[in-house]
Amino acid sequence: MRAPERIQALAAFVIKEMRHILRDRQTLTILLLLPLAQVVLFGFAIRTDVNDIRLAIVDAAPDDATLALRARFTGNGRFRIVATAATVDVLEPLFRRGEADVALVIAPGLARALADGTPARLQLITDASNPNTGTTMQTYAGAVIRTWQAALPGARQGVTIEPQVRMLFNPTLESVNLFVPGLIALVLTLVTAQMTAISLSREKERGTLEILLVSPLRPWQIILGKVAPYLLLAFANVVTALVAAWVVFRVPFRGSLLLLLAASTLYALVGLALGVLIAARTESQRTAMMGSMIGTMLPSTLLSGMIFPIASLPWPLQLVSNIVPARWFIVIVRGIMLKGAGVVHLWQELLVLTVMFTVLLAVAIRSFRARLA
Amino acid sequence: MTLAIEVRDLTRRFGSFTAVDSISVDVAVGEVFGFLGANGAGKTTAIKVLIGLLAPSSGSARVAGFDVLTQSEEVRKRIGYMSQRFSLYDDLTPRENITLYGGIYGLADAEIRARGDAMLNDLGIMHVADKLVSTLPLGWKQKLSFSVAMLHRPDVVFLDEPTGGVDPVTRRQFWEMIYAAAARGTTVFVTTHYMDEAEYCDRLSIMVDGRIAAMGTPAALKAEFGVSSIDEVFVRLARPATATAG
Amino acid sequence: MNQASSPVVLEGVRKTFGSTVALDDVTLDVHAGELFGLVGPDGGGKTTLFRILTTLLVPDAGTATVLGRDVVRDLWEIRRRVGYMPGRFSLYPDLSVEENLRFFASVFGTTLEKGYDIIAPIYQQIEPFKERRAGQLSGGMKQKLALSCALVHRPEVLFLDEPTTGVDAVSRREFWDLLHDLQASGLTIVVSTPYMDEADRCDRVALVQTGRILAIDEPGAVGARFPRPLFAVHGVPRHATIEALRAFPHAVSVHPFGDTLHYSDARVSLAPAQVITEVREWLGARGIAEVAVTPIAPGIEDAFMALMGDESDATTAGAA
């Protein structure tokens, strides 16, 4: 087959693939609305504006300073003081019974420490059984302390606030801002890895792959033809997610849109290669679906830093997280969106993704042989 | 004559399309009845109505003495069903399949074991009783799945293309099993694309475009059309229909 | 015919999957312009054979050439020049008839227009439904569409794996008529079928069973390989006739065939008239009515069953 014919065959393949996508209205609708729904749902779930935070105060030796600090909390509409005690022993039962959300522990001699300029210690204990509200509560409490501190005569900087967390807690979930990059990664993973895996394994199951293999089409044409339409869909999804994040939550976008789209393309390619690989190694749509779920969606959610910060994972999982593409992509997107970072700052992550794509593509093409079995 | 299957003016429509158009069929107890027709003539729809998977649009059907619409539970207890597409679970062993079907039809464990052992012995496949069904030759599978469909000793057994792709020797062994079942009083309702098999039936009907175009013993049908085989009868009846439908 | 010009040649081809031997020392050649049939039950190795010929599988041993090209080395040239219709319906059900056809044309680097004249006799029968989704076609129409898709790039050899399985007797006849028309245009066709009666529609057939070729011959000549005299026996009731005949001391085989039984006798040299008399007496003494016994010429199915012989599975028919 000559080159123009090869291009023509590829074009026919892409058109055919688009028809499959367009005719499966239900799946298409879900795929198009998914980023919107996810941003809105996750965003609101995270943006739990917390009022009526139940505060327990442990003030071993009340003095002017501690009373002033306590007054700040009383005066703030969000906090309700449910207990004031002299020792920390009371906290455990309070937390266990769910009667307190946050505890403020003031070390004795706060006034003297402030006067002497020696370090003073404040401890914030948060019940983070709900990780999202936990973060918010801690943020609010910290804000109250900082306001109090700023009002101290002379800019006394010697106060250290030591946050402490009961139960599961994720201190980085500070706002929807950090979440949107994770969602973009998730949607891209779904559309690229999972959808390609499913659609390629469908050809296997239907027996059409057998005809395609017997044709003069080369494996790269089949893979490219399969992948191109999903790349377009992935683009649409990134834009939808960004627009939704901006319109609904005013998530800032500080960096270069072009760089973000380029990085998304790179990440999408990684996902597509992974999808092809999964399809090449599985026999049915069902196994491909399970495979892509376990192989891509779960790690992209749990080991990417999207929900649980990498640093809070046990070390074996931290190691594993290094091979999760989403982990690197999320850093890139956060950098571009929130910090306005450019290629200079992100080249390492971009390089990692490029290497991943190259390796996965090579393995995928090797697995996707020109013959059966 | 006691009737195992009694169909009166049975019609089934899908929207504006009439798949089964007012058919009437009587099948006697212990009869081997061949239900023939071209692809798309309405055979599958008719069988689905008879085994209670589809409700008739009008008309009535009684199977094993019960109405398929109002007493479908009773009907299902008394029928067996085997199709080429689905019969046994490939990822279970023959014994596990037997236990499963026995359980579905409410047989006691001891009964299942006794009937299962007898069946595996008769089929001569006791030595593979605990191998996966997927590893068995097609011919063994088909014979086993017929036996499993007969496990609860149904009054009527429906066989949908039971011998497709099977070698000629096994195909004949299969038909001997059908005769043996009929001799014990089970009524057999069977579809096939092998026209020589049609001749093995006591009586048969040929469906064309939702209607029954001919019915009778193989000998009577051949005499009626003045031909020497059922294949020719079939072609005579079905050719005009397929010429327009493609 | 000399082998060098044969478009399809297999020599000592063997293929195993794990411990299963799918093809065992298969040797055959298909002549140019021939309609060649692979006849035998499912699981016999027909599909594996097609997959080797269409370069989808590599044989473990032996060689196979298509159009003089090696199936292992020259896969891309072979793929361009052959047409293949796999065993099950392998088109896109969510694409229309015409979309499927156009897609497969481009895959082979051609267009529907360029291939139209070759597929016209088949495609014109389904062209009125060209806007319809392929998934909504009847069985016979699906076959015709699949055949059109396999032909649109003007292949020199056509491989059809069980194109008539599950298709009713009338559509099957029509399909074979189409194959004959195609053959008349010079195409070499290799087709497999589990239906023995379709063997008569081929120029030559290979009888395939459990990975082995039992015989290769013209359909009319295959029957002659049956080793004994054969008789058609009629009796009422039928089931009792079978059992009584099996109990006859000289019976080698008793098989139902349509409305009669085919009976072969162990005494090869005995006069047929003598056999007939003895069988009639034996059946009559066992209460069988309307007994009729006539000598007949063995057909392909008789030969196939005789050749299967000890290769057939050891199971016996039994009551459940």
pLDDT digits (tens, 9 = 90+) for B136-183: 888 888 899 999 999 999 999 999 989 888 888 888 889 989 988 998
In eight-state DSSP terms, residue C74 is -
Residue C117: pLDDT over 80:
yes
pLDDT digits (tens, 9 = 90+) for B80-97: 999 876 678 888 999 999
Q: Please tell me the distance from the alpha carbon of residue C27 to that of residue C8, in angstroms, as a whole number.
A: 11
Q: What is the CATH number for C73?
A: 3.40.50.300
Question: Which structural domain range is residue C234 located in?
Answer: 227-297
Give contacts of B129 with chain C, Cβ < 8 Å: none
Query: What is the structure's pLDDT at C319?
Result: 33
Taking the Cβ of residue A8 and every Cβ of chain C, the question of whether any pair is shorter than 8 Å is answered with yes
Residue C60: pLDDT over 80:
yes
Contact C115, C149 (CB under 8 A): no
Q: Please tell me the distance from the alpha carbon of residue A69 to that of residue A145, in angstroms, as a whole number.
A: 7
Q: What is the CATH number for C272?
A: 3.30.70
pLDDT digits (tens, 9 = 90+) for A80-105: 888 888 888 888 777 766 678 888 88
Backbone angles phi, psi at B3, to 5 degrees: -100, 130
Q: Please tell me the distance from the alpha carbon of residue C211 to that of residue C5, in angstroms, as a whole number.
A: 26
Query: What is the structure's pLDDT at B244?
Result: 44
Quick one: C140 and C35 in the same domain?
Answer: yes
What residue type is C3 in one-letter code?
Q
ipTM of the complex: 0.81
CA C29 from centre of chain: 16
Does residue C310 sit within a domain?
no
The mean pLDDT value for B125-136 works out to 91
Q: Best-predicted range by mean pLDDT among A14-18, A115-119, A281-285?
A: A14-18
Query: What is the structure's pLDDT at A8?
Result: 86
Q: Please tell me the distance from the alpha carbon of residue A276 to that of residue A261, in angstroms, as a whole number.
A: 22
Nearest by CB to residue C108, choosing from A15, A215, A370, is: A215
Contact between chains at C140 and B246 (C-beta distance less than 8 A): yes
Given pLDDT bands bounded at 50, 70 and 90, which one contains residue C310?
very low
Contact C291, C234 (CB under 8 A): yes
pLDDT digits (tens, 9 = 90+) for A103-112: 888 888 888 8
Quick one: C268 and C144 in the same domain?
Answer: no
Q: Average per-residue pLDDT in chain B?
A: 90
Residue A39: pLDDT over 70:
yes
Domain B1-78+154-163+187-246 of CATH type 3.40.50.300: yes
Q: What are the strands of the beta sheet with B58-63, ordered from one edge?
A: B17-28, B3-14, B58-63, B66-67
Q: pLDDT above 70 covers what percent of chain B?
A: 96
The mean pLDDT value for A223-252 works out to 86
Contact B26, B3 (CB under 8 A): yes
Q: Which helix (H) or strand (E) holds C29?
A: strand C20-30
Residue C311: pLDDT over 50:
no
Does residue C134 sit within a domain?
yes
Given pLDDT bands bounded at 50, 70 and 90, which one contains residue A165?
low
Contact A346, A264 (CB under 8 A): no
For the segment(s) A53-166, the CATH number from 1.10.260.40, 3.40.1710.10, 3.40.50.12780, 1.10.10.10 is 3.40.1710.10
Residue with tokens 């501190």: A149
Q: Please tell me the distance from the alpha carbon of residue C178 to that of residue C187, in angstroms, as a whole number.
A: 12
Quick one: C208 and C263 in the same domain?
Answer: no
What pTM value is reported for the model? Answer: 0.79
Per the structure block, which two tokens stand in for B214? 């001919």
Q: Average per-residue pLDDT in chain C?
A: 90
Query: What is the structure's pLDDT at C320?
Result: 33
Quick one: C194 and C259 in the same domain?
Answer: no
Quick one: C238 and C252 in the same domain?
Answer: yes
Residue B36: pLDDT over 90:
yes
Does residue C117 sit within a domain?
yes
Domain residue ranges of chain A, discontinuous segments joined by +: 3-45+175-367, 53-166
B-to-C residue pairs, Cβ atoms closer than 8 angstroms: 153
Taking the Cβ of residue A23 and every Cβ of chain C, the question of whether any pair is shorter than 8 Å is answered with yes
Quick one: C143 and C15 in the same domain?
Answer: yes
Q: Which chains touch B (3 or more CB pairs under 8 A)?
A: C
Q: Please tell me the distance from the alpha carbon of residue C301 to that of residue C299, in angstroms, as a whole number.
A: 6
Contact A137, A101 (CB under 8 A): yes
Quick one: C183 and C246 in the same domain?
Answer: no
Quick one: C38 and C187 in the same domain?
Answer: yes
Give contacts of B229 with chain C, Cβ < 8 Å: 258
| Beta-carbon contacts of residue C244 (< 8 Å; ≥ 6 apart) | C235, C282, C283, C286, C288
Residue A272: pLDDT over 60:
yes
Q: What total number of domains does chain C contain? A: 2
pLDDT digits (tens, 9 = 90+) for C180-227: 999 999 999 999 999 888 999 999 999 999 999 999 999 989 988 898
Domain residue ranges of chain B, discontinuous segments joined by +: 1-78+154-163+187-246
Given pLDDT bands bounded at 50, 70 and 90, which one contains residue A50?
low
Quick one: C138 and C238 in the same domain?
Answer: no
Residue of C132, C170, C210, C214 for testing the chain B interface, max B β-carbons within 10 Å: C170
Closest alpha carbon to A6 in A216, A209, A185, A198: A216
The mean pLDDT value for A289-308 works out to 84
Q: Please tell me the distance from the alpha carbon of residue C15 to that of residue A51, in angstroms, as a whole number.
A: 73
Q: Please tell me the distance from the alpha carbon of residue B128 to that of residue B125, in angstroms, as a whole number.
A: 6
Q: Please tell me the distance from the alpha carbon of residue C55 to that of residue A373, in angstroms, as a whole number.
A: 12
Three-class HEC string of B177-230? HHHHHHHCCCEEEEECCCHHHHCCCCEEEEEECCEEEEEECHHHHHHHHCCCCH
